[in-house]
């Protein structure tokens, strides 16, 4: 899905220790061509169809849009 929207996997990281905040099992970092491409992917019917599967696999998910500093 993400690749079809122009997403490229940068890193997949396992969380070893939380210094502050809530624990998560992993962090996935991806690059996209634009914020519009990300928004379109998350608003697509294809992604909506995956939400029930996503929710069974992850108790909590944070999806953050960032930009280079």
pLDDT band at 52 (very low <50, low <70, confident <90, very high): very high
Q: Are 42 and 63 within 8 A, CB to CB? A: yes
Q: Are 10 and 27 within 8 A, CB to CB? A: no
Please tell me the pTM assigned to this model: 0.69
Residue 67, domain member (yes or no): no
User: Which residue has tokens 């992993």?
Assistant: 26
- Domain extent at residue 37: 8-57
CA 27 from chain centre, in angstroms, equals 8
Number of domains in the chain: 1
For the stretch 15-22, contacts whose Cβ atoms lie closer than 8 Å and that sit 24 or more positions apart, written own/partner, are 22/60
Residue 31, domain member (yes or no): yes
**Beta-ladder partners of 8:** 31
Taking residues 36-50, what's their average pLDDT?
91
């Amino acid at each position: 899905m993400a690749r079809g929207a122009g997403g490229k996997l940068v890193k997949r990281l396992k969380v070893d220790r939380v210094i502050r905040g809530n624990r998560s099992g992993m962090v996935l970092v991806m690059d996209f061509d634009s914020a519009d491409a990300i928004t379109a992917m998350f608003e697509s019917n294809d992604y909506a169809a995956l939400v029930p599967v996503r929710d069974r696999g992850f108790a909590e998910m944070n999806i953050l849009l960032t930009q280079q500093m």
